[in-house]
Structure 1
């Protein structure tokens, strides 16, 4: 586990095709909206990655998270729908009371299967599906939140060759979720919230460069 990422002078964001070369899955719960705003606001519109977000929300109210985030980031943000394609520069938010996952052809899918760790949507379901489909092209981020959602999914991401980032305790409003992921031993980077977007940009570009070489 590392606590910092080396600087890279080559981390220049480039326009990309309609299929995202890298997929980022973000999990957050209590305190997550502000954390998501800080992470997403630090990313450029031409980020060559798609981002899928699971934020634990009340099932009793319509979520306005996509609208809020859309005003705070250069990326395009929408509430996920079944059939959405993971395009670079887009952020897809799981709707309340629906699990969000990636199916075998790479499209997003929603369902209302049983709750996992009392959560629907559950980060573990998203992380596991992205790990199976995208393997080393997957990056998982576990932000502030209660409970342990995202821990087993982080392990799957890492075991399939992906990278896992967790928010550090000092900047987490609630450290239970990041800490549960860290305790698995499968987290690569534990970072302050303010450093996550920069680190994510560098990691995405490193993975894009690796694919170009391959």
Structure 2
């Protein structure tokens, strides 16, 4: 943390995106979050559009938090992980509600990470944490930049540690990333942010 920076805020939510290699990466990060983690975690993971998804079940086996595939008009609850279903964009409609969309693909993807990140930034502004993990295209880079422009905290997996480095590297190249961290480091930082003292005291590192 940057001790001399007075830019403090209370975080309200985490938005997370991943593509190729994402199942393992998400599992490592979510495994670091304790059962008392207080923030909702909203996940867009690129999925095959015609296959049923067992992503929520797979992540639930590695996570102390409840994990569920989001439905349209889901109520956002603290300490819950929501994952986008196959072939739907997942958006934050307002501070209490998630919504699904079948609008066209963005960056060849539906769900699109950019769509999730941009909607989260528009609703929560500086109170959202954006996390971009492994992936083989540049989906998420523009959305992460939008989170940063709105004052939110932006985190990317270090490209060297990613199974597919293209996605986090694109975000770094776009100037969208406050911190580039390994998966374990991301998990530990989120665990701190999700604690009562972390949400009240975390200072943005610039």
User: Which residue does 2:84 correspond to in 1?
Assistant: 94
Whether 2:194 is the aligned partner of 1:199: answer no
Change (3 A) 1:21 1:140: closer
Unaligned 5+ residue runs, structure 2?
Answer: 4-9
- Write out the 4+ residue segments of structure 1 that deviate beyond 6 Å after TM superposition: none
RMSD: 1.9
SS of structure 2 residue aligned to 1:48: coil
Alpha-carbon shift at residue 210 of structure 1 (Å): 5.5
Alpha-carbon shift at residue 207 of structure 1 (Å): 6.2
Which TM-score applies when normalising by structure 2?
A: 0.89
Trace 1:54-133 onto structure 2 (pairs within 5 A).
54-104=44-94, 106-133=96-123
Q: Is the 8 A contact 2:131 2:155 kept in 1?
A: yes
User: Which residue does 2:6 correspond to in 1?
Assistant: none
Unaligned 5+ residue runs, structure 1?
Answer: 8-19
User: Which residue does 2:33 correspond to in 1?
Assistant: 43
Cα deviation 1:69-122 (Å, max 9, x = unaligned)? 111110000000111122111000000000000113530000100000100000
Count residues with an aligned counterpart. Answer: 195
**Among 191, 209, 212, the residue aligned to 2:200:** 209
Alpha-carbon shift at residue 171 of structure 1 (Å): 1.2
